[in-house]
């Protein structure tokens, strides 16, 4: 494709060469550059792509997009823009034929609930006969085809490439998690969503955003690029979003008056039931995943699908059929144990509180929790999670959860700062911690293993090891029984 076609819609200045070059493909990683490629200089937190402009040229780049001054390199075309991340987003969209315009996009943002809500919406749309793609934390999907997910929301180049594959496979809808990182870093810049969905906003990612206001403003970006806004008004920041946006919106709640309300909620160990009230209609809904917070996830999913003209009967069937890996997942299903072990992705204070509150509702005996906090991430949430875990559990086992470059015991010490009670045990090795919990458990108890959910790895200082908690729990059962 010609460079000027790739740059269409951008305000740019030609510093060297011309914009009539033929471009092979776009890259922002100089190591992947091949002859005839366009290299975009992206400024990261640790690495500035401008430093690798010459290396990209030496590998064969025929054109370079930059926002800072770089040296003129041979016959290479140098294009200067104000913002390289926005330029990458627009260029990638143009290069892949603007595929997002050929899809109906539903974007979901919030601290918790994004993954579950995307799976719910996908299930509803597919039950209604629509071929649907999904982009998110667990995996990416093109219809039934599962693809590996590197991050919650891909970089704009990979995102538009994925959109292109969906269009080529006749996908009609794409439901995607839109992380606060992706919004701050303009990965979804220039994309219009049919629906923008807000789940909630609680403490997370302050290592990246620095302040809660920055975190909120990042989330807000989604709704300025959406035709319809779907907002949880039981959340304080949901009400704030309604005041800060214009355009059509649908509200949902459990506690306040809204467009969609859930009433008569009944939670049990195998799911949750509730009555959905919308306009003059009441319909009984069933989910095979428990938790009051999953009622909220269901409500926002229902609202998005109502906007797309899906009937309440199709919505009901889609919700009943939904399965979400690693979200309040019963890991001991089909065993003869007289207690339950639940694994969940909860890795934030709010997420941990939600899963423990849910489990408490159907625990006949004691509630035993196993949790930790990730290394090289927001340290301020560690004591908060320690307090929640110890106060809401009968026994809390503090352990490791992706320590990365930090010493696991140092992370655990941060968690312990928030604990006032004496009902906790420290077991640094995560497998040993799960085994300890299962050895403690008696008839009627529930063990909640929080933090990893669908993940099948542990990130240590110098390696990433395989660690699937489903497998771990099965192995421990064989050892103990």
User: Is 115 a known ligand-binding residue?
Assistant: yes
User: Is 127 a known ligand-binding residue?
Assistant: no
User: Is 133 a known ligand-binding residue?
Assistant: no
**What are the phi and psi torsion angles at 438 (to 5°)?**
-70, -30
Question: Which tokens belong to 85?
Answer: 């991340």
CB 82 within 8 A of CB 15: no
User: Is 110 a known ligand-binding residue?
Assistant: yes
Contacts for 413 with CB less than 8 Å, ≥ 6 apart: none
User: Is 403 a known ligand-binding residue?
Assistant: yes
The helix/strand/coil state of 316 is helix
CB 330 within 8 A of CB 436: no
Is 29 exposed, middle or buried, given 0-12, 13-18 or 19+ CB atoms closer than 10 A?
middle
Question: Which tokens belong to 41?
Answer: 């200089």
User: Is 153 a known ligand-binding residue?
Assistant: yes
User: Is 111 a known ligand-binding residue?
Assistant: yes
User: Is 404 a known ligand-binding residue?
Assistant: yes
| CA atoms within 13 A of residue 355's CA, in its CB half-sphere | 32
User: Is 164 a known ligand-binding residue?
Assistant: no
User: Is 132 a known ligand-binding residue?
Assistant: no
User: Is 187 a known ligand-binding residue?
Assistant: yes
CB 163 within 8 A of CB 156: no
User: Is 113 a known ligand-binding residue?
Assistant: yes
Please, where are the H alpha helices in 169-291?
180-184, 206-209, 212-223, 236-244
The helix/strand/coil state of 406 is coil
CB 54 within 8 A of CB 60: no
User: Is 402 a known ligand-binding residue?
Assistant: yes
User: Is 202 a known ligand-binding residue?
Assistant: no
User: Is 327 a known ligand-binding residue?
Assistant: no
d(CA 441, CA 325) in angstroms, rounded, equals 24
Contacts for 128 with CB less than 8 Å, ≥ 6 apart: 305, 310, 311, 314, 315, 318
User: Is 462 a known ligand-binding residue?
Assistant: no
User: Is 152 a known ligand-binding residue?
Assistant: yes
CA angle 244, 246, 252 (to 5 degrees): 80
Annotated binding site: 30, 110-116, 152-153, 179, 187, 377, 401-404, 451, 455
Annotated binding site for meso-2,6-diaminopimelate: 377, 401-404, 451, 455
Annotated binding site for ATP: 110-116
């Amino acid at each position: 494709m010609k460079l000027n076609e790739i740059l269409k819609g951008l305000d740019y200045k030609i510093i060297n060469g011309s914009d009539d070059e033929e471009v092979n493909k776009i890259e922002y990683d100089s190591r992947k550059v091949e002859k005839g490629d366009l290299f975009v200089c992206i400024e990261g937190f640790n690495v500035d792509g401008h430093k690798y402009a010459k290396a990209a040229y030496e590998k064969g780049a025929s054109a370079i997009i930059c926002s800072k001054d770089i040296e003129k390199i041979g016959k290479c075309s140098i294009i200067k823009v104000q913002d390289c991340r926005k330029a990458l987003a627009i260029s990638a969209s143009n290069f892949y034929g603007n595929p997002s315009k050929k899809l109906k996009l539903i974007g979901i943002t919030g601290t918790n609930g994004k993954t579950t809500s995307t799976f719910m919406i996908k299930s509803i749309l597919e039950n209604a006969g629509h071929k649907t793609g999904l982009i998110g934390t667990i995996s990416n999907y093109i219809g039934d085809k599962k693809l590996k997910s590197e991050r919650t929301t891909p970089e704009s180049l990979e995102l538009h490439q994925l959109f292109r594959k969906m269009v080529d496979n006749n996908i009609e809808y794409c439901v995607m998690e839109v992380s606060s990182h992706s919004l701050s870093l303009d990965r979804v810049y220039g994309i219009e969503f049919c629906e923008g969905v807000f789940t909630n906003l609680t403490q997370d990612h302050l290592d990246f955003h620095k302040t809660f206001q920055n975190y909120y403003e990042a989330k807000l970006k989604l709704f300025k690029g959406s035709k319809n806004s779907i907002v949880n008004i039981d959340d304080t920041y949901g009400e704030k979003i309604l005041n800060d946006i214009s355009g059509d919106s649908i509200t949902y709640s459990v506690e306040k008056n809204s467009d969609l309300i859930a009433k008569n909620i009944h939670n049990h160990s195998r799911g949750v039931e509730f009555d959905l009230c919308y306009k003059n209609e009441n319909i009984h809904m069933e989910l095979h995943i428990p938790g009051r917070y999953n009622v909220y996830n269901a409500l926002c999913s229902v609202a998005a699908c109502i906007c797309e003209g899906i009937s309440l009967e199709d919505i009901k069937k889609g919700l009943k059929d939904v399965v979400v890996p690693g979200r309040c997942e019963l890991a001991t299903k089909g065993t003869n144990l007289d207690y339950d072990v639940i694994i969940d992705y909860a890795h934030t204070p709010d997420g941990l509180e939600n899963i423990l509150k849910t489990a408490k509702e159907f625990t006949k005996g004691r509630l035993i929790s196993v949790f930790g906090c990730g290394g090289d991430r927001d340290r301020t949430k560690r004591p908060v999670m320690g307090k929640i875990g110890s106060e809401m559990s009968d026994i809390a086992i503090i352990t490791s959860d992706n320590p990365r470059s930090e010493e696991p015991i140092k992370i655990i010490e941060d968690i312990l700062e928030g604990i006032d009670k004496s009902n906790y045990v420290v077991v640094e090795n995560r497998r040993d911690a799960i085994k300890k919990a299962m050895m403690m458990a008696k008839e009627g108890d529930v063990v909640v293993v929080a933090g990893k959910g669908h993940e099948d790895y542990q990130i240590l200082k110098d390696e990433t090891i395989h660690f699937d908690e489903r497998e771990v729990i099965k192995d421990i059962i064989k050892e103990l029984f």
